[in-house]
Amino acid sequence: MASRNQNRPPRSPNAKKEGLGGIPFDKRRKVETQGTGRRQAFSAVNKQDVTMNSDVGSIEECGKVEFTKDEVLALLSERAKAGKFDTKAKIEQMTDIIKRLKVCVKWFQQADETHIQEKENLKVSLESAEQKYNHKELDARTKEEELQATISQLKENVVSLHEKLAKEESCKQDAIECHRREKESRVAAEKVQASLGEELDKVKEEKMAAKQKVTSLEDMYKRLQEYNTSLQQYNSKLQTDLETVRAALTRAEKEKSSILENLSTLRGHSKSLQDQLASSRVLQDDAIKQKDSLLLEVTNLRNELQQVRDDRDRQVVQSQKLAEEIGKYQENVGKSSQELDILIAKSGSLEETCLLQKERINMLEQQLAIASERQKMADASVSLTRTEFEEQKHLLCEQQDRLADMEHQLCEAELLRKKLHNTILELKGNIRVFCRVRPLLPDDGGRHEATVIAYPTSTEARGRGVDLVQSGNKHPFTFDKVFNHEASQEEVFFEISQLVQSALDGYKVCIFAYGQTGSGKTYTMMGRPETPEQKGLIPRSLEQIFQASQSLGAQGWKYKMQVSMLEIYNETIRDLLSTNRTTSMELVRADSGTSGKQYTITHDVNGHTHVSDLTIFDVCSIGKISSLLQQAAQSRSVGKTQMNEQSSRSHFVFTMRISGVNESTEQQVQGVLNLIDLAGSERLSKSGATGDRLKETQAINKSLSALSDVIFALAKKEDHVPFRNSKLTYLLQPCLGGDSKTLMFVNISPDPSSAGESLCSLRFAARVNACEIGIPRRQTSTKLLDSRLSYG
């Protein structure tokens, strides 16, 4: 209470007059909200009554006193509470009230003043505020505009951001899709990776195996290379031998030609001498004639001279007569002196003529002497020429003798050459392999497919190489000789004619034709005998043998030839020359042992083979052979109908034994020529055989593998050679390896569908080609044997 009194002046009475409107803004608020405080303040004023009672002036000095509306209203409505009769109290109360009213009025006036003041201030501040406001409004407007711009910009930004967002959204979708797909592919890749891992393992294993194989192959290659180099050295040695022999031969030939030339020049010389002799004789005759004519001329001249002399004498007589006449006609001398002069002149000229004639006579006599001298010389030269002629004749005889000698030597050299050639072939020692590719036939399926056979053109492989292309892979092979599809039967035969000759020289020769059915084995061996240029090796060999045996007959050789032809079907021998036709079925029985004909094969100690009950024909002409070949072909074709195309399912063996005897040299040779058309080599799986066919195929496979086993065993020089594993190898035992010459034709079909079989055939042939079997020996003896020989 005390603090309030200190802070606030007592209420001036003016405050009552001013009313509430004069209360400053902040104070009015106090009036409205702090009713309790105001009442307290009023009560404080009321309580001051005691202290401020005496002096109003002190009230004014008390400072400002605040009044609320209620206080003012209360003050206005306040009445003197003293009784009607207490005027004094009433006056006192009334003065107090007046005093308080005065304070209130004063407060009111003050408040009003402050209010006006404040109003003014407010006006000023309002104006400034208004100005500020306007400024602010302007600012705000510009700001608003700016903001609007920013807003629109932001809106645009928002739109663009929306667009971006949409784009981003689609991108996100794409990315999600991508991610999904990647996930899938990753899964797939993982799977692939797993499978690749497995494959890698497998490949690693394969690689290891291949590495091992490679090392083994490398070893083999090294060994082969060594072998090859040794062969090459050997070959080069042989070549040099051949070269020296050739050089000797050429030297001999050169000598022969020089002798021939010499002889011809001598002949020319002798002829010229003879000509000279004849000419000198003619000359001599001429000289004699000339001499005669000169003699005649001399006599003539002598006669003439005589005449001239006579003339002269007569002239002399005449001159004498004239002299007499002179005497007679002395008086006519003057006249006749002229005549005389003339006559003298005449006589002089005549004398001159006479002298001339004399000279001529001398000349002629000289000529005569020369001619006679010449004649003498000619006579001498004639005798000289004669002696020379005799000498030349002698020389000619000598030269002719020498020529004969040289010719003889040449024959011997030729023989030596043949022998050396043979030795080269012998030293080669391995089975030789020729490859023959038949032309594409109209029946072949693969006419429009790519060719599977190619022939390399490099110099070292030309004529010896053949490449087979199968499913894109090239398989190169080389053999002793390769005949392409264009090779004629004659060309093929030319290459083997030396071998056929060897049979005549006493060797055992085997020529095989190997290959699948339809590859041209029968065509190569037999050909088409009805057309001369398509005749095969068998008829051509026989022709050569007959021709050669005939020409060797001039050297004292007599040959005996025997022929047999058989077929091996299902390991059973079938005689193709048997006159008994039922034999075609005997093989079945022979197999079971019920037939009388066993066809057992035996070899004697001399290496000669005997087949019991086999028909053997002595042949001495090509005509006979042809009929036998026909018979065999017929016999085979009978089998063909009965035995399910047996011709390609059986081995055909043509055998010719050749025995030669030379009575003059007591030499004897025994050769054998075997020509074998093997059964088709196609594999079992391909033929899809069952039943009888299966048995057939198995028999063929067995005998072909037996043949290769024998060849490879011979090549490895094994102690045991399994000749007995098949009828074919057992039959040919003496003719395989050791002392025989073997040639194998591998026949190839160019039909692309046969490429697999062709590859098998070529691989087999290549293995055979690598075999060295032995050195062939010639079967000869100088002991003259009985003309009936055993045939091996």
- How many Å apart are CA 337 and CA 360, to the nearest integer? 34
Judged by CB under 6 A, does residue 740 bind ligand ADP?
A: no
CB of 526 to ligand ADP, least distance (A): 8
E strand map for 638-753:
651-662, 667-677, 740-748
Scored b (16 or more CB within 10 A) or e, 735-774 reads bbbbbbbbbbbbbbbbbbebbbbbbbbbebbbebbebebb
465 binds, among ligand ADP, Mg ion, none (CB under 5 to 8 A by kind): none
**Could you say which of ligand ADP, Mg ion, none residue 519 binds, taking C-beta under 5 to 8 angstroms by partner kind?**
ligand ADP
Q: How many whole angstroms separate alpha carbon 493 and alpha carbon 500?
A: 9
User: By CB under 5 A, how many residues form the interface with Mg ion?
Assistant: 3
- The verdict on whether residue 518 carries a ligand-binding annotation is yes
Angle at 117 between CA 115 and CA 120, to 5 degrees: 110
Q: Which of 515, 607, 774, 792 binds ligand ADP (CB under 6 A)?
A: 515
Structure tokens at 652: 């055909």
Hey, which residues between 596 and 655 contact Mg ion (CB under 5 A)? 648
What is the amino acid identity at position 350? L
276 is in an annotated binding site: no
Which residue in this structure is represented by tokens 């339809």?
Answer: 518
* Least CB distance to Mg ion at residue 759 (A): 20
Q: Is 522 among the residues that bind Mg ion (CB under 5 A)?
A: yes
Residue 80 structure tokens: 């003197």
Find the binding residues for ligand ADP in span 382-441 (CB under 6 A).
Answer: 438-439, 441
Nearest to 22 by CA among 105, 107, 115, 101: 115
Asked whether the beta carbons of 80 and 105 are under 8 A apart, the reply is no
Smallest gap from residue 681 Cβ to ligand ADP (A): 9
Q: How many CA atoms lie within 13 A of 340 on its CB side?
A: 16
What angle (nearest 5°) sits at the alpha carbon of residue 437, between those of residues 679 and 432? 70
Identify residues 181-240 at the interface with ligand ADP (CB under 6 A).
none
Nearest approach, Cβ of residue 648 and Mg ion (Å): 5
517 annotated binding-site participant: yes
Burial of 524 (0-12, 13-18, 19+ CB in 10 A): buried
Q: Which two tokens stand for residue 123?
A: 């006006």
CB of 739: closest distance to ligand ADP in angstroms? 30
Binds 110, which of ligand ADP, Mg ion, none (CB < 5 to 8 A, cut-off by type)?
none
Q: Which of residues 648-667 bind ligand ADP (CB under 6 A)?
A: 648
446 is in an annotated binding site: no
Q: Which two tokens stand for residue 507?
A: 């060797």
Could you give the CA distance from residue 601 to residue 571 in angstroms, rounded to a whole number?
Answer: 12
Of 548 and 748, nearer to ligand ADP (C-beta) is 748
User: How big is the site for ligand ADP, counted in residues (CB under 6 A)?
Assistant: 14
- The alpha carbon of residue 238 and the mean position of all alpha carbons in its chain are separated, in whole angstroms, by 32
Is residue 520 part of an annotated ligand binding site? yes
Count Cβ neighbours within 10 Å for each residue of 573-601 and write b for 16 or more, e otherwise. Answer: bbbbbbeeeebbebbbebeeeebebebeb
**Contacting residue, 22, 465, 506, 520, with ligand ADP by CB under 6 A:** 520
**519 touching ligand ADP, by CB under 6 A:** yes
Q: Pick the stretch among 85-93, 180-188, 291-299, 513-521 that binds ligand ADP (CB under 6 A).
A: 513-521
Q: Which positions from 665 to 684 touch ligand ADP by CB under 6 A, shown as an x/- string? A: ---------------x----
Sole binder of ligand ADP in the list 102, 428, 521, 574 (CB under 6 A): 521
Q: Counting contacts by CB under 6 A, is residue 110 touching ligand ADP?
A: no
Tell whether residue 518 is a contact of ligand ADP (CB under 6 A).
yes
Task: Count other C-beta atoms under 10 Å from residue 174's C-beta.
Answer: 10
CA 595 to chain CA mean position, Å: 57
Our CB check for ligand ADP shows the closer of 489 and 609 to be 489
522 makes contact with ligand ADP (CB under 6 A): yes
Which run of H or of E encompasses 575? strand 572-575
Q: How far is the CB of 441 from ligand ADP (least distance, A)?
A: 5
Alpha helices in 471-621 (DSSP H): 489-504, 521-525, 537-553, 583-592
Under rule CB under 6 A, residue 445 binds ligand ADP: no
Contacts of residue 792, Cβ cutoff 8 Å, sequence gap at least 6: 508, 603, 604, 606, 607, 608, 609, 657, 670, 672, 734, 779
- Partner from Mg ion, ligand ADP, none contacting 439, C-beta within 5 to 8 A by type: ligand ADP
Interface with ligand ADP, residue 284, by CB under 6 A:
no
Q: How far is the CB of 491 from ligand ADP (least distance, A)?
A: 10
Cα 123 from Cα 129, distance rounded (Å): 9
63 is in an annotated binding site: no
Residue 607 interacting with ligand ADP (CB under 6 A)? no
DSSP state of 85: T
- 21 in a labelled binding site: no
Closest Cα partner for 466 from 435, 491, 433, 512?
A: 435
Contact between 517 and ligand ADP by CB under 6 A: the answer reads yes
Q: Is 697 in the site for ligand ADP (CB under 6 A)?
A: no
Candidates 217-225, 495-503, 521-529, 650-658: pick the segment binding ligand ADP (CB under 6 A): 521-529
Please choose which of ligand ADP, Mg ion, none residue 392 contacts, taking the beta carbon within 5 to 8 angstroms, the exact cut-off set by kind: none
Measure Cα distances from 371 to 364, 559, 723 in Å: 10, 74, 99
Q: Does 539 bind ligand ADP (CB under 6 A)?
A: no
Residue 513's nearest CA partner among 648, 611, 382 is 648
Of residues 747, 754, 758, 779, which one binds ligand ADP by CB under 6 A? 747
516 assigned binding-site residue: yes
Give the residue ranges of the annotated binding site for ATP: 515-522
Would you tell me which residues interact with Mg ion (CB under 5 A)?
Answer: 521-522, 648
Would you tell me which residues interact with ligand ADP (CB under 6 A)?
Answer: 438-439, 441, 515, 517-523, 648, 680, 747
Give the residue ranges of the annotated binding site: 515-522
